[in-house]
Structure 1
Amino acid sequence: MIEVKDLTFSYDKKPFIEKMNFSVKSGEIFGFLGPSGAGKTTVQKIMTGLITNYQGSVRVNGTECRNRTQAFYEDIGVDFEFPALYEKLTARQNLEYFASLYGRVCRPPQESLEKAGLG
């Protein structure tokens, strides 16, 4: 399901993540723990295809994350602890953005907002 081999990534010249290896098989529960600044969110961004300039291989459901297509998001779910990437978007904009990741027609954002009492 998830296979990370020799993952190396750097925001500058010095490697931030160096030769990381792990795998998660179908049905396994995996927790990604570590202190602030350890690279947890960076690895999540790599696994979801938001960062593509890494070295090594990161495969989710057999797809190399840097080569993902629109269909990639149909089979995964991600929950970031703090949605820093999306905190400047309104609730409607967040719903519209995430709906755009999927090929199928999603519920209209206003319907979801009303259901959650945020209309």
Structure 2
Amino acid sequence: MIDVNGLIFTYPGAKAPAIKDLDFSVESGEIFGFLGPNGAGKSTTQKVLTGLLRDYQGSVNVLGRDSRAWGSDLYEQVG
């Protein structure tokens, strides 16, 4: 399960956030994707979900754990 609430991410030095107030959830077994034009924040959102970007505001939980707390054990569960 993925649960994102109020996600805001701004790259260092940027004037505006790359992601602003994003909310969504994905239940176990659901298939989902990100669609949007260049610069919409698709890749940035994926990097936050996988723990590659950790300096964000809001909450991002994957399998009930904050994405900032990811370790190798969680990567194995997600596949």
Percent of pairs with identical residues: 56
Question: Which consecutive residues of structure 2, in runs of 5 or more, have no partner in the other structure?
Answer: none
Higher Cα radius of gyration: 1
Q: Which has the higher strand share?
A: 2
Question: Which consecutive residues of structure 1, in runs of 5 or more, have no partner in the other structure?
Answer: 78-119
- 5 Å-filtered alignment, 1:75-90, equals 75-77=77-79
How many residues matched? 77
Q: Which runs of 4+ in 1 moved over 4 A?
A: none
Distance 2:15 2:69 in 1: 24
Tell me if the contact between 2:3 and 2:62 (Cα under 8 Å) persists in the aligned partners.
Answer: yes
Distance 2:18 2:38 in 1: 13
Q: Equivalent residue for 2:60?
A: 58
Q: Which has the higher helix share?
A: 1
Aligned match for 1:29, one of 28, 31, 54 = 31
User: Deviation digits for residues 30-68 of structure 1, max 9, x if unmatched?
Assistant: 121111111101000000000000000111111100121
Distance 1:13 1:61 in 2: 32
CA-atom RMSD in angstroms? 1.1
